[in-house]
A and B are shown apart, each in its own frame.
Chain A
Amino acid sequence: MSDALHISEKALPGGLDIGGVRADFPILQRSIHGKPLVYLDNAASSQMPQQVIDRLVHYQTHEHANVHRGVHTLSQLATTEYENARHKVMNFIGAADAREIIFVRGTTEGINLVMHGYGRAFLKEGDEIILSAMEHHANIVPWQMLRDEKKVVLRIIPMDDTGELLLDEYEKLFNARTKLVAITHVSNALGTINPVREMIATARQHGVPVLLDGAQAAPHLPVNVQDLDCDFYVFSSHKMCGPTGVGILYGKAALLEKMQPYQGGGDMILNVTFERTTYNEIPYKFEAGTPAIAAGIGLGSAIDYITGIGLERIAAHEHALLNYATEAVRDIKGLRIIGTARHKAAVLSFTLDEIHPHDIGTILDHQGIAVRAGHHCAQPVMQRFGVAATARASFAFYNTFEEVDALVAGIHTVQKVFA
């Protein structure tokens, strides 16, 4: 079976054929509480097109065996397809070498791998790591664990009231002890697109490697790791129309080769005796145990799907949705948008009068509208803006302007209930 796309050709090259795209996503046809589903929780997890679902079914039906092990046909086939997916990821993010693409469980595991393989191996007491004030807990907690273990110091780039990082302050954080910068490319709670190219250039002047958390960026804007010149880039399959359970750590080969393995086990070794073990080459050195094979192949299929539409086209459509939504909610009395950076991905985080976001989320859900309510695993961001939680609508390329209208109507209903 090929991964060929049947995205309607009439959409190319101009805008998005939204009807054709939506027809690819079976879940978008269902209803919730008797209302058509309006799925606006894409920053938490995106939905899966039929092409990817079919790919998973095809793999399990015709191709499954363990990878990198057997000489039999199915094992060869599974290995080929799995390694094809690795190449698709390489091309998707513009990496130079497939050996730089490590399959992990998700963004969180990717960051933990770098903490363990790079941080624990090379950082010493008094060394410093620069994080930003808008990080997801996944890019805070691993470094705190390292801080407690190695007595390293965490320095935090502050942000302004719009949710933009203060670059002057960032530059001031560097000194001879700075050993790593770990920042998000796009904020999950605020939508801010950080000027990472500029920030990496600054780090480069100080000879400091940079890890980018790309979980919210990879599905929504074109990413080229060589062009950015980042040292590590991590992202998750399930936020870009792929299955859960797989994510990617990109790392520059020279760094990965120096790093210590993250987990021990099968697949990551060349030779094992009870005296000593020789580790496998990268990327396998970091891939102990049987991986999520179907999920990895599914991610490859999701990349085919997304690149078939085109990330420029996706970004343009989502940007139009964000602008439309931002304008539409501006007139809602009592609504405060949290995160108003100049460069934003399609994330609309907001509070509404004194109404708790969980009440907003419950009432919207009963109108079929799925949003996230809570602290978005970014409690320091909530503290920075003086709120306990926000409601967050996050858009994908399969969302429509009509769905934005439904959200606005839904917010009015919330206000009516609490009037």
Chain B
Amino acid sequence: MDPRELYQEMILEHNKKPRNFGVIAEANRHAEGHNPVCGDHITLHLHLEGEQIQGVSFEGHSCAICKASASMMTAQVKGKTVAEAETLIQEFRDMVTGKLDTKTQPHHLGRLTVLAGVSELPSRVKCAVLPWHTLHSAFVAQETASTEKEF
């Protein structure tokens, strides 16, 4: 795979100008995602009202894959319910671990499919998944997440 296939315009653009980057004052859930081996470190801030995601933001230092994934994730889940977001988390994990072929199987990932190429780079799967894992941690009120052991 050509690196440009992975580092597509949309990913680079999200890396350069991440959406929902920073802290939201109304946040009532926080979780930290950390992959110490590669150095990706993000903090997720979540504003939950009942089952509704009113707002979500992130901050921290990470590689382009992780940052673009976090940026696109926050844009995608805002306004959704926790259950809808959990479906996306599962589908995203399945996509980047090669279990979901977004070209042939139904899914709700939309533009997140630009990250499908990560499945061909086993060492980078954990980068892409970290924000999603961290979001799940925020839902279940765990304070830290890591994806280095799993992928």
Cα(A373)–Cα(B123), bound, Å: 11
Distance of A382 from chain B, by nearest CB (Å): 8
Q: Mark A19-50, 1 if CB is under 8 A from B, else 0.
A: 00000000000000100000000000000000
Indicate if B38 sits at the interface (CB-CB under 8 A).
yes
Chain A residues near B61 (CB-CB < 8 A): 356, 388
- Of the candidates A362, A366, A388, the one whose C-beta lies within 8 Å of that of B39 is A388
- Judging by beta carbons under 8 Å apart, are A374 and B39 in contact? yes
A389 lies within 8 A of chain B by Cβ: yes
A356 proximity list for chain B (CB < 8 A)? 39-40, 61-64
The contact of A362 among B3, B12, B62, by CB within 8 Å, is: B3
**With an 8 A cutoff between CB atoms, is A151 at the interface?**
no
User: When the two chains form their complex, are residues A417 and B4 in contact, meaning their CB atoms are under 8 A apart?
Assistant: yes
Asked if A362 and B124 sit within 8 Å, CB to CB, the answer is yes
Question: Given that A374-B38, A389-B39 are contacting pairs, would A358 and B3 also be in contact in the complex, using a CB cutoff of 8 Å?
Answer: no
Distance in Å from the Cβ of A303 to the closest Cβ of chain B?
Answer: 32
Q: Which of B16-44 contact A (CB under 8 A)?
A: 36-41
Chain B residues with CB under 8 A of A363: 3, 7
Which residues on the A side are within 8 Å of B2 (C-beta)? 366
* A136, CB-defined interface residue at 8 Å: no
User: In the complex, are the beta carbons of B39 and A355 less than 8 A apart?
Assistant: no
Contacting residues, chain A, for B62 (C-beta < 8 A): 356
Among the listed B15, B36, B38, B41, which residue makes an inter-chain contact with A358, where contact means beta carbons less than 8 Å apart? B38
A-side contacts of B121, CB under 8 Å? 362
Which of B15, B39, B64 meets A375, CB within 8 Å?
Answer: B39
Closest to A358 in B: B63
Most chain B CB inside 10 Å of its own CB: which residue of A33, A359, A366, A388: A359
- Does any Cβ of B come within 8 Å of A324's Cβ? no
Nearest residue in A to B35 (C-beta to C-beta)?
A358
If A375-B37, A375-B39, A418-B64 touch, does A358 touch B127 (CB 8 Å cutoff)? yes
Tell me the nearest residue of chain A to B2, going by C-beta.
A366
Number of B residues near A (Cβ < 8 Å) is: 23
Chain A residue nearest to B65 (CB atoms) is A359
Q: B72: CB under 8 A from chain A?
A: no
Residues of A within 8 A of B4 (CB): 417
Across-interface contacts of B124 in A (CB, < 8 A): 358, 362
Contact with B along A334-359 (1 / 0, CB 8 A): 00000000000000000000011111
Contacts of A358 in B (CB 8 A): 38-40, 63, 65, 123-124, 127
Q: Across the interface, do A417 and B127 meet the contact criterion of CB distance under 8 Å?
A: no
Kindly identify which residue among B1, B36, B40, B63 contacts A366, using a CB–CB cutoff of 8 Å. B1
- Residue in B2, B7, B12, B40 with the greatest tally of chain A CB atoms within 10 Å: B7
Interface contact A388-B41, CB-CB below 8 Å: yes
Cβ contacts under 8 Å, A418 to chain B: 7, 12, 15, 64
Bound state CA distance, A366 and B121, in angstroms? Answer: 11
Please encode chain A, from 379 to 405, with 1 for each CB lying within 8 Å of some chain B CB and 0 for all others: 100100000110000000000000000
Q: Roughly how many angstroms separate A362 CA and B120 CA in the complex, as a whole number? A: 12
B73 is an interface residue with CB less than 8 A from chain A:
no
| Nearest neighbor of A360 in chain B, beta-carbon distance | B63
CA distance A357 to B1 in the complex (A): 19
Given contacts A366-B2, A373-B38, A417-B4, 14 further A-B contacts (CB under 8 A): A356-B40, A356-B61, A357-B63, A358-B38, A358-B65, A358-B124, A359-B64, A362-B3, A362-B121, A366-B3, A374-B39, A375-B37, A389-B38, A418-B64
Chain A residues within CB distance 8 Å of chain B: 33, 355-359, 362-363, 366, 373-375, 379, 382, 388-389, 417-418
- Can you name 28 A-B pairs with beta carbons within 8 Å? A33-B1, A355-B64, A356-B62, A356-B63, A357-B63, A358-B38, A358-B63, A358-B65, A358-B123, A358-B124, A358-B127, A359-B64, A359-B65, A362-B6, A362-B121, A363-B3, A366-B2, A366-B3, A373-B38, A374-B38, A374-B39, A375-B36, A388-B41, A388-B61, A417-B7, A417-B12, A418-B15, A418-B64
Name the 4 nearest CB pairs between A and B, nearest first. A356-B63, A388-B39, A389-B39, A366-B3
